[in-house]
Amino acid sequence: MGFGASFARDWTISKTSRFFGKNRIADPLLGRLAADPSEAVREAVARHASALGAEEGAGFRRRVPDDEVLLIVESFLLTAGVPYDRKNDNDIVIKKDFSASADQGLCCPLIASSYLTGFLAAVLESWERIETDEEIRCRKKETKESF
């Protein structure tokens, strides 16, 4: 094999490896499953996405002090491209606008919403969550201490 053939082969391998890189097959496949006409398939996708979010959220929760859990949520939302408004240390409103998150690894709105629901339930386990069609509001529950 001559010099030119080796370079062409290496270049082709390099380009092909980028084409079939991270999530090249998984993202479109998950998007198709989430859009499947079968309600049972869509429910299964949502259930598994929620369970995965809960598992990963619980992992974070075990490693983070109570006063930093909102920081973990904020970090995730920023990384995923999900808009939110942090009111204070006890209140955050998350917009269910997953248009930017599709480019950040959450694939599609069904998976993004389901994963986020599971993640929040695990990370903010003692918080109150109120969900509407447009947003998820998370508030720290008031605790009454007796003296």
pLDDT tens column, 83-123: 999 988 899 999 998 877 655 567 788 898 999 999 999 99
Task: Give the separation between CA 22 and CA 55, rounded to whole angstroms.
Answer: 22
The model's pTM is 0.79
Task: Give the separation between CA 115 and CA 120, rounded to whole angstroms.
Answer: 9
Number of compact structural domains in the chain: 1
User: Would you say residue 16 lies in a domain?
Assistant: no
User: Is the model's pLDDT at 146 over the cut of 60?
Assistant: no
User: Would you say residue 62 lies in a domain?
Assistant: yes
pLDDT tens column, 22-41: 667 777 888 899 999 999 99
User: What is the number of alpha carbons within 13 Å of residue 12 lying toward its C-beta?
Assistant: 6
Which CATH number characterizes residue 135's domain? 3.30.1380
User: Would you say residue 145 lies in a domain?
Assistant: no
